[in-house]
């Protein structure tokens, strides 16, 4: 039955598990649910296809910054990647291929944006409603809605008066041709450093408005020669070895991020050399040096970002934006620059977990109310007062040093174990004291991490609480999530 059928019949679609979102998380979970013989599930996706951030972020130059052999499912290695760091099209293609190979199509419902989910205490089921009015009733609910799927556009004075196209990098307008245009880029985060060099040769004039500079290091990218791809395809273990080596290399840096931030200073000389090699103008170079401790914001990788500022048609503006006018931007120093098109590289509302969905648990408790001091969960997965409710890429499961897909696989294993348990139980719910103990310890550890002080970043709420990042090693997370401890749960 499709959502449209539900509306027609007025009857809810009954299923065992509702999964929300069809990115790496939702697809990975779907595959593992089938493998566990849990075939009664639907994946609701608000868009019209799978892929998550890799469907949305189609800006020129979009690519991952974790090597592809690692940024892929461990059970579905990709031997045929043309280069070490796959681009957006390759990653999206990979997710589409996974969907087909593992037969997830019958489970997917597109155009199904979930507006609300309510725990019904009479039936011990979740009642899930989409914006279009379709209703699903399920024993369990799993959200796989990502941390980086809500683009942020700053509320700049006068923005609504701007008459040209203005869009976020995650909502790229491929119908807008940038050649011959005076383009303004606002923001210099992970996406901007990828698309600035790609559009610099097209635009007549490119003005980059920077609030804070980024630590950008060389990207050790390469095209895999044919022999190496043959090796990965045909020699048993070669691809696994490549993945393992990349994993260890990334994991080795965790120590600096989570326990000994000063160690990250060893990367500064490489940053300086990279900057010097890329930018000849000493004034521009000076303004591209960050004034916060390295690692506090994500360390970025690019081989052509700095070089873009050596182009005669690219200008770096570090004064803040005072006002946007119909065809111009006025900066704080009083300079007005004529602009035809504005592109926002201003990131995502990462700490607004599950917004704008309404999730209601036991006793009508609103999850937003439960999270008024910042989102939190047990292991980033389960929340007290919300039985049979699980999150993937939930609070404090993000990383700065390794692959999110690795973290997602750990969470998926844990959630599948819980869902198996629910075949013989009505509900499971994390005990509040267990969740509190876990989060008290987690926040204590976060105080010693590189994200704790020295900069503002998307990891922190307005109150300065880090609700996004995992403060440890990924193998530690994998161990903690290896199997649920049933004593931590009220199993009914």
Ligand X SMILES: Cc1cc2nc3c(=O)[nH]c(=O)nc-3n(C[C@H](O)[C@H](O)[C@H](O)COP(=O)(O)OP(=O)(O)OC[C@H]3O[C@@H](n4cnc5c(N)ncnc54)[C@H](O)[C@@H]3O)c2cc1C
Q: Interface with ligand X by CB under 6 A: which residues?
A: 20-26, 44-47, 52-53, 57, 62, 64-66, 71, 113-114, 144-146, 148-149, 191, 357, 392-393, 403-404
Q: Among residues 207 and 246, whose Cβ is nearest to ligand X?
A: 246
For the bound state, the minimum distance from the C-beta of residue 402 to ligand X, rounded and expressed in Å, comes to: 7
125 secondary structure, DSSP code: E
For the bound state, the minimum distance from the C-beta of residue 471 to ligand X, rounded and expressed in Å, comes to: 17
CB 29 within 8 A of CB 412: yes
For the bound state, the minimum distance from the C-beta of residue 29 to ligand X, rounded and expressed in Å, comes to: 9
Q: Among residues 114 and 159, whose Cβ is nearest to ligand X?
A: 114
For the bound state, the minimum distance from the C-beta of residue 154 to ligand X, rounded and expressed in Å, comes to: 17
C-alpha span between 50 and 43 (Å, rounded)? 10
CB 224 within 8 A of CB 71: no
For the bound state, the minimum distance from the C-beta of residue 385 to ligand X, rounded and expressed in Å, comes to: 21
Burial 44-74 (b: 16+ CB within 10 A, else e): bbbbeebbbbbbbbbbbbbbbbbbbbbbbbe
Which one, of 292, 247, 218, lies nearest residue 401 by Cα? 247
Q: Among residues 46 and 459, whose Cβ is nearest to ligand X?
A: 46
User: Element (H or E) spanning 249, and its range?
Assistant: helix 238-251
C-alpha span between 176 and 202 (Å, rounded)? 12
Any bridge partners for residue 331, and if so which? Answer: 321
Q: Among residues 71 and 126, whose Cβ is nearest to ligand X?
A: 71
Q: Among residues 54 and 224, whose Cβ is nearest to ligand X?
A: 54
For the bound state, the minimum distance from the C-beta of residue 190 to ligand X, rounded and expressed in Å, comes to: 6
For the bound state, the minimum distance from the C-beta of residue 306 to ligand X, rounded and expressed in Å, comes to: 20
For the bound state, the minimum distance from the C-beta of residue 379 to ligand X, rounded and expressed in Å, comes to: 15
Residue 133: partners with Cβ closer than 8 Å, 6 or more residues away = 6, 7
Which one, of 43, 52, 47, lies nearest residue 71 by Cα? 52
Query: Which burial class, exposed, middle or buried, applies to 222 when counting CB atoms under 10 A from its CB (0-12, 13-18, 19+)?
Result: exposed
**How many other CB atoms are there within 10 angstroms of residue 8's CB atom?**
11
Q: Among residues 26 and 278, whose Cβ is nearest to ligand X?
A: 26
For the bound state, the minimum distance from the C-beta of residue 149 to ligand X, rounded and expressed in Å, comes to: 4
Q: Among residues 377 and 434, whose Cβ is nearest to ligand X?
A: 377
C-alpha span between 303 and 139 (Å, rounded)? 49
Burial 88-124 (b: 16+ CB within 10 A, else e): bebbbebbbebbeebebeebbbbbbbbeebbbeeeee
Q: Among residues 30 and 261, whose Cβ is nearest to ligand X?
A: 30
Q: Among residues 181 and 401, whose Cβ is nearest to ligand X?
A: 401
Q: Among residues 45 and 90, whose Cβ is nearest to ligand X?
A: 45
For the bound state, the minimum distance from the C-beta of residue 374 to ligand X, rounded and expressed in Å, comes to: 19
CB 221 within 8 A of CB 303: yes
């Amino acid at each position: 039955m499709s959502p449209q059928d539900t509306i027609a019949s007025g009857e809810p679609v009954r299923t065992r598990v509702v999964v929300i979102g069809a990115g790496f998380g939702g697809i990975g979970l779907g595959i593992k649910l089938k493998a566990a013989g849990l075939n009664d599930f639907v994946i609701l996706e608000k868009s019209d296809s799978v892929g998550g951030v890799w469907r949305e972020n189609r800006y020129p130059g979009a690519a991952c910054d974790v090597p592809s052999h690692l940024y892929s499912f461990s059970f579905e290695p990709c031997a045929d990647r043309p280069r070490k760091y796959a681009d957006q099209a390759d990653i999206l293609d990979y997710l589409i291929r996974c969907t087909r190979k593992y037969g997830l199509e019958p489970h997917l419902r597109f155009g199904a944006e979930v507006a609300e989910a309510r725990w019904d205490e009479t039936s011990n089921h979740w009642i899930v409603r989409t914006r279009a009015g379709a209703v699903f009733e399920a024993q369990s609910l799993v959200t796989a809605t990502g941390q980086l799927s809500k683009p942020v556009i700053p509320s700049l004075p006068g923005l609504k008066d701007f008459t040209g196209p203005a869009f976020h990098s995650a909502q790229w307008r491929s119908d807008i041709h940038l050649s011959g245009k005076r383009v303004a880029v606002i923001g210099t985060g992970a996406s901007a450093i990828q698309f600035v060099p790609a559009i610099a040769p097209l635009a007549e004039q490119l003005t980059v408005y920077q609030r804070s500079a980024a630590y950008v290091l060389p990207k050790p990218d390469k095209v895999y020669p044919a022999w190496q791809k043959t090796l990965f395809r045909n020699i048993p273990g070669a691809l696994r070895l490549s993945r393992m080596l990349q994993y260890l290399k990334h994991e080795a840096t965790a120590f600096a991020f989570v326990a000994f931030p000063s160690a990250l200073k060893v990367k500064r000389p490489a940053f300086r050399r990279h900057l010097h090699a890329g930018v000849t103008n000493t004034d521009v170079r000076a303004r591209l040096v960050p004034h916060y401790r390295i690692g506090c914001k994500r360390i970025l990788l690019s081989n052509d970002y700095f070089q873009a500022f050596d182009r005669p048609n690219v200008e770096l503006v570090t004064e803040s934006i005072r006002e946007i006018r119909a065809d111009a931007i006025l900066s704080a120093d009083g300079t007005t620059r004529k602009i035809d098109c504005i592109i926002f590289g201003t990131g995502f509302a990462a700490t607004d977990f599950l917004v704008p969905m309404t999730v209601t648990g036991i006793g009508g408790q609103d999850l937003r109310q439960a999270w008024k001091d910042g989102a939190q969960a047990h292991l980033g997965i389960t929340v007290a007062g919300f039985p049979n409710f699980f999150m993937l890429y939930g609070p404090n499961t993000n990383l700065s040093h390794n692959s999110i897909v690795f973290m997602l696989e750990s969470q998926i294993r844990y959630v599948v174990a819980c869902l198996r348990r629910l075949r013989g139980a009505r509900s499971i719910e994390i005990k509040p004291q267990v969740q509190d103990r876990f989060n008290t310890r987690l926040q204590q550890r976060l105080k010693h991490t590189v994200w704790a002080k020295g900069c503002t970043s998307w990891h922190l709420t307005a109150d300065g609480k880090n609700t996004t990042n995992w403060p440890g090693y990924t193998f530690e997370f994998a161990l903690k999530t290896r199997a649920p401890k049933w004593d931590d749960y009220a199993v009914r």
